[in-house]
């Protein structure tokens, strides 16, 4: 299942790296975090709540998650 996340609070390449690593550690694949659009696309069968918790743990806010 593919999902698109809108993430607030990222401001640099290090932010992208931290968010990417947090999502990959959940077991999500094809993780693509884009700083300019403040979005991430991922694939995997992980609950929205777990995704949100992982991103919040590294200091960012998930504004929305939608299945694509």
pLDDT class of 50 with cuts at 50, 70, 90: very high
Using the Cα atoms of residue 52, residue 64, residue 8 and residue 13 in order, give the sign of their dihedral. Answer: positive
3-state secondary structure of 26: coil
Whether the CB-CB separation of 55 and 61 falls below 8 Å is answered with yes
Phi-psi label, residue 14: left if phi above 0, alpha if psi -120 to 50, beta otherwise: alpha
CATH, domain range 2-67: 3.30.70.100
**Whole-model pTM?**
0.93
Q: Could you tell me the residue ranges of all domains in the chain?
A: 2-67
pLDDT-derived band at 40 (thresholds 50, 70, 90) equals very high
State percent of the chain over pLDDT 90.
Answer: 100
């Amino acid at each position: 299942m593919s999902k698109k996340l809108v993430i607030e609070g990222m401001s640099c390449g290090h932010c992208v790296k931290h968010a990417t690593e947090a999502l990959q550690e959940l077991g999500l694949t094809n993780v693509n975090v884009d700083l300019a659009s403040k979005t991430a696309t991922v694939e995997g069968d992980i609950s929205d709540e777990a995704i949100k918790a992982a991103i919040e743990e590294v200091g960012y806010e998930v504004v929305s998650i939608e299945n694509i």
